[in-house]
Each structure stands twice: as structure tokens, then as C-alpha cells.
Amino acid sequence: MIFMGTFTMPSNKKDEWMNCFAGIKENPPTEGIKKWQTFICSDEFEYKGYNIIFTEKGKADEALVEISRTMLPFTQIEGASWTLETLLSVTDTIKVLG
């Protein structure tokens, strides 16, 4: 399974973000996570991060718990938001469309 997480926060909260990120470096998410890539862009008002998260086959539930545990501190930053969506590959989409 593939998830896409989108995180936004005000640009004046980078110190809080760095503190949260330091916690991840000490205890990185592993259970059910095959690969986690993050891409960040910003403007003068906010930072926006796109997280593409690949799970190990049959471990989506475990990965979801790890993702939630990892992102919880970031959601406590005032003005921040986090959304998580499930993605389908083109091959899986064709299967769905039949």
C-alpha cells in the first residue's frame, strides 16, 4: 500500500518543527514501513511537505500506526495540519475500473 501525507505549517514555526524532527531521528518509524520519502517546498508564509510512504506487503495496519505515532508531535504545532491519503498505482486503478 502507498500513502501520501501532506503537512503544512506556518513559516514562523520552524524551530518547533526541528524539535519534532530531532525526535524522529532518535526513533525513526520502522514497523511496516518499506520506504518513506519527504519533499518540502515553502514560501514566505508556510512550509508544505509531501510524504510518499510505501508499506511492506501485508503490513499496512502496522505502518499506519507508525505513521500516526511519527506525525503526532508535528500536529501539535499551532497552525499545522496533516492529512493522509491512500494512493493507487495505475495498475491497481485499472483493476478497479475493470
Query: Residue type for 93, please?
Result: T
Partners of 3 in the beta sheet? 53, 86
What pTM was computed for the model? Answer: 0.86
- Alpha-carbon span 61 to 2, nearest angstrom: 12
For 2-97, give the CATH class. alpha beta
Task: Quick: pLDDT tens for 29-73.
Answer: 889 999 999 999 998 889 999 999 999 999 999 999 999 999 999
Report the pLDDT averaged over residues 20-28.
Answer: 85
β-pairing verdict for 2-10 and 33-42: unpaired
- The H-assigned helical ranges of the chain are 14-26, 60-75, 90-97
